[in-house]
Structure 1
Amino acid sequence: MSEPVRRHRRSSSTVRHGQLRRSSTAGVIARFVAAVLAVVLVSGSAIAAYAVWDIASSVAPPVTLANETPGVSAPDIDAIEGGVNLLLVGSDSRQGQDANLFGDPKKETAVLNDVTMLLHISEDHSSATVVSFPRDMFVPIPACPKEDGGTYNAMSAQKINTTLSYGGLACTVLTVEKLTGLSIPFAAEVQFNGVIELSTAVGGVDVCVAEPIADDYTQTYLDAGTHTLEGMSALQFLRTRHGVGDGSDLGRISNQQVFLSSLVRTLKSSETLTNPSKLFGIAKAAASNMTLSTSLSNINTMVSIAMAMKDIPLDQVVFAQYPTEYGDINGYEGVLPLKGPAEELFDALSTDEPLSLSGETGPGSVLDPNAPENETQEPAQPSPTPEGTTPAPEDTTAPTTAPTTEASAPGVVLDKSVQGQTAGDYTCSKGNE
């Protein structure tokens, strides 16, 4: 096994371009909403007015969700009141994409949501959780409205990635609402070009690779070390499944979380948040390459959600994978929901309990042994010794740190089947070589 390279060293990424056969588009909601906020806050008023108009004019016609109420006014540009549930969907559709890179859109047989992620922001804006739903998980799909009227029949068990083909973004939202018990008023869909342009607009994302990645399916080849990925290389990294961990979609999710956590750290860095040109580019790229729900298509709404997220500490931004086990239904292989651990997770989200992960990061990632120390944590100061007394000798037999227990852990300690990490955790992709 190759030793991971220290994070301050940067090697050039080698990603060979070829036709993409399957998709796993992904993004980070914070990248989208924080950018719009920063354009308004950092730019002068005239520039901000033009930026808002230009971004708004780029937004595609919105999708109306089943739970939206027509005529509700948009919030003021201030942190949104209360909590937020926002669903981000990555589509594998070739429509409107470069046929030379992504294949002929006329040959696609179905449009699948290969990435489905739910962002939950707590009522008091002290924490945020992003839950990834495995694409091959069997779930009940409710009756979904057709675009031309009528409804698709409800189904007791289908893979969650088929919901986009049955009833579009609105159907995916209805399915996740039924699965989690949460109301989801905001949603966005992103395609291939969106991931490419967004990763380029942010200036690239540093990812750590513990062992070399070699994936002939996505033409992704990366040596061990730290790579700055943007554009096509970022998309292919997010798509790779055969190149990481055990080659499963679950491994791909944990590999994506390596990218997402690093992206959140990049967005919260002062260099990104004080660069108006870069921030405008991010917002423009997002608006030009996303299909939004009606509730999210208003600039004020995007800004207010961003303001709710901007001060959340990194260790309170949790990336979690919906807990599953391997199984099959009627001879079709996939993964099945683990209902007990899942109920614990979403009950905690519904009541805004702080979350603590106890499981592993996932089969596609490992903790970075060369991660920088937490610079925000102040060292403990010794108690002052009264004048005229001698300090007691140090007890070298006692442990230097207390063991972590459920009683001392913050909030709800999730079952070990809920894998993931926080944005404050430095991790590396676990390659297949």
Structure 2
Amino acid sequence: MGDQSTGRISGAGGRRDRPPTKGRRPLRIAAWSIAAALLVGGITSGYVYFKIDGNLEGVDINAKLGENRPENIDNGSMDILVLGSDSRSGDNAKYGGAEGGARSDTAMIVHLYEGHQKASVVSIPRDTLVERPECTDSDGKTVRGQQRAMFNTAYETGGPACAVKTVELFSGIRMDHYLEVDFTGFKKLIDELGGVKITTTKPIKDDDSHLDLEPGTHVLDGEQSLGLVRTRKSVGDGSDLGRIQLQQAFMKAFIQRAKDVGALSNPKKMLDIADTATKAITPDSELDSVTELMSFARSLGSLGAEDVQMVTMPVEYDPVDPNRVIPLKAASQQVWNALRLDQPIPAAALKESAGDKSDAADVVSDTVPVPTDTAPKQHG
């Protein structure tokens, strides 16, 4: 069981012992809208508590990875690996197109600085070629390590623990928490929030993601939102780097929407959001109860969209295979060193990176969402 006053993983070394004491608004980013719903909804009845609590099923990362991990650095910061997963089956299948097991098509390292008033989010391109360490899969079988493996194969072959182990290997940073968001659950959550308002400066038409938007302002429902964050071929250079730019722009709009919804005084609405949200995520075992999740949310203070820096891990196109990218070693090391020391990411580390350079970010701009409690009509 984690330390419920801080919401941190209680692994060997006991990290991050100085949580903030000010602020009660949870971090409005991706999976943490769950925590917002729980806090604002005010879960008071035993029935509601157990209903929501029963939705949460955690993954014990500490037990699977053991002691051979990066050092716990007690500087008041916190690092969370957030993955968007796609099982390529059931309701998710129509967004994929690839056969095989589940993959982590979206991956972000979220670094909360001491005091939790600022954050940096580092997106990891799924096509990045990295060293994948030897892992143990969910059946207890050993998965051999591999050089030049696509990053998202870590999750595909070894599950959440292998994804965490791979990130810790190339970053040298210990992950305090893990949160996985299912794409289908994400779609339902957007609908419960009442949609997300964005403005497109160019048309977006992508048959693979089933998205067709003209330039202008749109309130995207869950289906359209999922299509947007999956779009790659119709914006920028058509690569995964362009898609990351779209995801980051959408995330800003999502944060604002969740912030506005958090101000609602409709308990039933908030409980519906909490129910949907807790069904959409798989947290680590230190966040797999309502009590732990609420404690974690309270520790995050009043972090808003304007306090979050979003970047892409410094990469370059692989000279052997232009459809893949490889880390820029020196630049990436600057990023990881900055986070390890709880310092801002230096602009110089991103200067030569192929990431964050696509015009895809200019295609979508976040706007203040409409104040509505109902699911949006069809748009675009």
* Alignment TM class, shorter chain as reference: 0.7 to 0.9
SS of alignment partner, residue 207 of structure 1: strand
The 1:341/1:274 distance shift into structure 2, 3 A limit, reads: farther
Alignment correspondent of 1:34: 36
Structure 1: unaligned runs, 5 residues or longer: 1-26, 71-80, 373-433
What CA distance in whole angstroms lies between the structure 2 residues aligned with 1:341 and 1:273? 43
Alignment correspondent of 1:88: 82
SS of alignment partner, residue 205 of structure 2: strand
> 1:160 deviation in Å?
0.3
1:361-382 deviations in Å (ceiling 9; x for gaps):
643112889989xxxxxxxxxx
Letter of the aligned partner of 2:99 in structure 1? Answer: E
SS of alignment partner, residue 175 of structure 2: coil
> 1:188 deviation in Å?
2.3
1:335-414 to 2 correspondences below 5 Å = 335-355=325-345, 362-366=358-362
8 A Cα contact 1:84 1:305, kept in partner: no
1:146-161 to 2 correspondences below 5 Å = 146-161=137-152
1:200-349 to 2 correspondences below 5 Å = 200-269=191-260, 272=263, 274-329=265-320, 331=321, 333-349=323-339
Aligned-residue CA RMSD (Å)? 2.9
Aligned-residue identity in percent: 32
TM-score, normalised by the number of residues in structure 1: 0.68
What CA distance in whole angstroms lies between the structure 1 residues aligned with 2:210 and 2:226? 11
The 1:291/1:265 distance shift into structure 2, 3 A limit, reads: same
Alignment correspondent of 1:57: 54
SS of alignment partner, residue 138 of structure 2: coil
8 A Cα contact 1:87 1:173, kept in partner: yes
1:88-136 deviations in Å (ceiling 9; x for gaps):
212221345376x4589xx932322111112221221121122110010
Find the structure with the greater CA-based Rg.
1
Identify which range, 234-243 or 299-308, moves more after superposition: 299-308
Alignment correspondent of 1:430: none
SS of alignment partner, residue 253 of structure 1: helix
Alignment correspondent of 1:177: 168
SS of alignment partner, residue 233 of structure 2: coil
Letter of the aligned partner of 2:186 in structure 1? Answer: V
> 1:272 deviation in Å?
4.0
SS of alignment partner, residue 359 of structure 2: coil
Alignment correspondent of 2:16: none
Structure 2: unaligned runs, 5 residues or longer: 1-28, 67-74, 369-380
8 A Cα contact 1:194 1:289, kept in partner: yes
8 A Cα contact 1:97 1:193, kept in partner: yes
8 A Cα contact 2:196 2:253, kept in partner: yes
> 1:205 deviation in Å?
0.8
SS of alignment partner, residue 126 of structure 1: coil
What CA distance in whole angstroms lies between the structure 1 residues aligned with 2:345 and 2:312? 13
SS of alignment partner, residue 348 of structure 1: helix
What CA distance in whole angstroms lies between the structure 1 residues aligned with 2:366 and 2:228? 22
SS of alignment partner, residue 306 of structure 1: helix
What CA distance in whole angstroms lies between the structure 1 residues aligned with 2:62 and 2:30? 24
What CA distance in whole angstroms lies between the structure 2 residues aligned with 1:154 and 1:246? 31
> 1:159 deviation in Å?
0.5
8 A Cα contact 1:30 1:309, kept in partner: no
1:250-298 deviations in Å (ceiling 9; x for gaps):
0000011111011112222376454433332222112112223212212
The 1:28/1:133 distance shift into structure 2, 3 A limit, reads: same
SS of alignment partner, residue 83 of structure 2: strand
The 1:333/1:314 distance shift into structure 2, 3 A limit, reads: closer
The 1:150/1:271 distance shift into structure 2, 3 A limit, reads: closer
Aligned positions, number: 326
